[in-house]
Amino acid sequence: MAAQLTDAWRDALFSEAGEAALRRYYTFHLEGITKISDALPAARSVQLDRLTRHLLGHYGRYLDENTRLPESYRLAWITELSPRIFKLEALILGAAAPKDLKTCLCNAVKHAAGHTLREQRYLEQLLDALEKISWEASGTAEAVRHCLLLLNFNHLAYLACLQREVRAHASGLPEEARQAFLRSELGRLRAQPLRSGTGYDPDWPPLAHMLCAFLEEELRALPPGAPAPEKLALNLSVAQLAGMIRLGHQQGLFGDKNLSEIFRFMAASFSTKRQGQISPGSLSKEYYGTTQVTAAVLRDQLSQMVKNIDRDFFPK
């Protein structure tokens, strides 16, 4: 019976059926497998779990992501992921990051249900992305923020984390600087690239949209301020400025300031040769993605600086 089904699925793929028909066909079979599997004891669902895995693995792009998966398959999937989740949880808890952020992330990965294909795919994407973060490095919170915005991690507890972070930073600033900071954060979010068709909770708006609405509300609550101070124009691109920040941070030139604060200060204080307004997010992106081309330009500039020092202070 299983061989007949897998042969039928293969034949359907190479038939003249259109994509909409294939979606209905494969989704109908997944719904049928789920209904039968859930009516059987777990011990008798092993073969159906194999069929489910085959269907998801070979024809997943044609399945309705909101279709419920067999309970026995879901439990097996969670068991398979458990070692990854436990390892990631240990890394998160040991990271130099805010406690509420660590609690939110650990809860999200530990308590993911995976009842539907969409939920399982999103958790796997989230685990893949979080496993790539250097949790022991400085600037972890900034890297996590960039990652979760990109993945549209619209978990309300994480939104609350970001709101507290913004308010905590803004509360220590003079009025004019507070307004500049909020506008900078708003511009950064609007420039943030997002993956379409993904999100932690499909019933809530995208994380970036909710955070933008919060920042706009915070700005409306401020009294009208003076125009933002003029920025210092640099003869550098955003990528080159980010590369300079990276070198300075590695050299310890910024003291104990974290990268988020450095990116915000640089974005609020400088413009580049092609962009009058730069965001902390664009600096962060270029900081973590410095290319060899950018490094070569910086090396030439630094070499020229060393020559100038030799000429002015160590003449031969």
Contact between 274 and 237 under an 8 Å Cβ cutoff? The reply is yes
Whole-angstrom CA distances from 276 to 180, 188, 262, 272 are: 14, 13, 18, 6
pTM above 0.75, yes or no: no
Contact between 256 and 310 under an 8 Å Cβ cutoff? The reply is no
> In the chain, which residues have pLDDT < 70?
1, 192-196, 224-229
pLDDT value, residue 301: 92
Taking the C-alpha atoms of residue 313 and residue 280, their distance in angstroms, rounded to an integer, is: 36
pLDDT value, residue 272: 87
pLDDT value, residue 227: 56
pLDDT value, residue 228: 55
pLDDT value, residue 129: 93
pLDDT value, residue 112: 84
Q: In one letter, which amino acid is 121?
A: R
Alpha carbon of residue 252 to chain centroid: 27
pLDDT value, residue 195: 67
Query: Would you report the helix, strand and coil content of the chain in percent, each value rounded to 5?
Result: 70, 0, 30
pLDDT value, residue 313: 87
Domain ranges of the chain: 2-64, 77-220, 232-313
